[in-house]
Chain A
Amino acid sequence: MTKAQATPGYDRSAKTLVTGVIGADTHIVGNRILSMALEKEGFKIVTLGALTPADEFVKAAIETAADGIMVSSLYGQGELDCRGFRDLCVEAGLEDILIYVGGNLVVGRQDWADVERRFLDMGFDRAFPPGTRTDDVVRALDADFAERERRSAKAS
């Protein structure tokens, strides 16, 4: 396991991330650990907690001008709950917001590559399997935000 970079090449404290557990799902522990880890790494975190409907993620992201939404789902219904999530963001004027999803996203033993593909097709920027380390998430965020900064620097 590699440690997340100490100097990611952009200002983490300028990035606001909304976290929460989607749907009728009360499993809060993993999401809380993720939120604490991200906060410790310097991100500004807005925690919505368990049992959060999809539209509340979007509303919180609007008020806080969030840069990313981290959706947790641990009860196997993630595919149903997350359907149309990107569309909701686009509707609300958050076309470019970074959206990640992670947890026990589906029931039964399914091939992860297949599950990941389905969530990426739904418009998520990244999907994470069970057992993901928080450092992996931080590294993914660093890569994606740095890439976006480069893109916007090039565009201007």
Chain B
Amino acid sequence: MTGGGEPAALLIDFGSTYTKLRAVGLETGTILGAGQGPSTVATDVNRGLDAALKDLEAHLGGLPEFRHRLASSSAAGGLRMVTVGLVRELTAEAARRAALGAGAKLVGTFAYRLTRADLAEIEALAPDILLLAGGTDGGNAEVVLHNARVLAGAAVDGPVIYTGNRAAADEAADVLRSGGESVVVTENVMPEFNVLNIEPARAAIRGVFIDRIVHAKGIDRAAGRFDAVMMPTPAAVLEGARLLAQGTATQPGLGELLVVDIGGATTDVHSIAGGEPSREGVILHGLPEPFAKRTVEGDLGMRHNARAIIDLAGATAVAADAGLDEARVGALLDAIAADVERLPETPDEHAFDRALARAAVRHAVARHAGTVKVVQTVTGPATLQEGKDLGRVETVIGTGGALAHGQDPAGVLAAALADPADTGSLRPKRPRLLIDREYLLYAVGLLAEPAPDAALKLGLAHLSDVTPQTTGEAAHERAIHVG
């Protein structure tokens, strides 16, 4: 033990490949050291944790006194969830947003009355948690009760979180329990028409995650070694983004922001923004948006879904963006399909990865951002907005391998910005571009609750500004300033 130094926090991520540790100084908000061990989620998590601690100790020459030990997990493909609602655009959509905001991996969404075929599909999906919504409070009870009866017989291990019509909660819970399901009842995700109330459902999901999933994945074998707080890694990223945007009681944050996380299988987008119309007279339409919103694009990933990106963006466009011919793009795509662990080495491979990442970012942010359209009425044109207007967002943060290790992070992140040729898509107009090169956002999110000031310092100190200069000088990295 070194002792005597500044108090520290230990951050643990139980991943599906590695057990990663970081020791963070609570006064300076700096990384004291990092350690890594294998993922031993399949056997005994303690072994991976021991190996990682030994690694950390070797780096630090001794372990500091840890005041907090905080853990997140992205292991075993994450928290698999299925959501069920009534109308697809209303309670089914609200349930979907709650699940995504809780950091879940959404494997299926269902609306209206569940059929036998739906039930078979849900059983095959084997979710860790089922989220059951439907009806506003005092509204439709019949469909959510029907769905509770169908789910009561489901051969699914995970519990059901009931977040539907309050008036039907007791009956639905009884029906589900008599079918042998374990049930958690929480507030309605849509208590009134078009009123979104996802925080209670998110809290319930997190509670179930700690109680059951941590146990199912064997992480509780190491439970005595970290504090009870534990989050799915994507939920920690969203909390980290929220802290960076809003700041703490003593330090201002960065203001409204967007986070783009390009992974091998998916691209996640988080926005911490109100998204109100930026012009007067614009009419808002559709379900209100959560202030802290996460979307996951399951078809946009740099490795497992490289082909899907090409299918969506078009091989010609991607080839042109990469400065390669289409045959070469096809060959590079085949090489990735044959080896998803492959990292770019040659100039061609780097150019191809850059173009893939740009296409993934463009489509992921376009789907996350709101849209406007002009409707002609007899009194003249009217502008309708659906979703968030992110035009005034001041900061876009990029993370994930393609941004952290790529050669042109600014060029990739610029694909998130508004396109003058597509004014219907409400993407950020003139934000600064920051890179989270060390993938620290999850750590910021874990620390946000017990040590917000240290967490904010940690986040701000490790974001590098890659905003291109308007004078035309080459992008260079600068420390960022807040104020």
Contacts and interface: CB of A to CB of B under 8 A. Distances in A.
A and B together in one complex: yes
Interface of A: 16, 18, 24-27, 44, 46, 49-51, 59-60, 62-66, 75-77
Nearest to A14: B138
Interface string B55-98: 00000000000000000000000000000001101110000000
Most buried by B among A18, A44, A62: A62
Contact of B377 (A18, A26, A62, A63): A26
A16 B136 CA distance: 11
A155 B482 CA distance: 71
Given A24-B378, A60-B193, A63-B190, 11 more contacts: A16-B138, A26-B379, A46-B193, A50-B382, A51-B375, A62-B86, A62-B87, A62-B140, A63-B135, A65-B138, A75-B378
B285 interface: yes
A65 B382 contact: no
Interface string B132-155: 001110111110000000000000
Contacts of B379: 26-27, 75
B471 interface: no
Contact of A51 (B134, B141, B283): B283
B382 A63 contact: no
Interface residues of B, number: 26
Most buried by A among B90, B378, B379, B382: B378
B346 interface: no
Most buried by B among A16, A26, A76: A26
Interface string B89-133: 111000000000000000000000000000000000000000000
B377 A65 contact: no
Contacts of B193: 18, 46, 60, 63-64
Contacts of B138: 16, 44, 64-65
Contacts of B135: 63-65
Nearest to B378: A75
The majority secondary structure among interface residues of chain B is loop
Contacts of A26: 283, 377, 379, 382
A24 B381 CA distance: 9
A27 B283 CA distance: 12
Contact of B139 (A27, A50, A51, A64): A64
A24 B377 contact: yes
A86 B12 CA distance: 58
A115 to B, nearest CB: 18
Nearest to B91: A63
Interface in B334-387: 375-379, 382, 384
B378 A63 contact: no
Interchain residue pairs A-B with the least CB separation, the first 7: A64-B139, A65-B140, A46-B193, A65-B139, A24-B377, A59-B87, A75-B378
9 contacts: A24-B376, A49-B283, A50-B382, A51-B377, A62-B86, A62-B140, A65-B140, A75-B378, A75-B379
A51 B384 contact: yes
A59 B377 contact: no
Contacts of B192: 46
A25 B141 CA distance: 32
A63 B140 contact: yes
Contacts of A60: 90, 193-194
A134 B378 CA distance: 26
B140 A76 contact: no
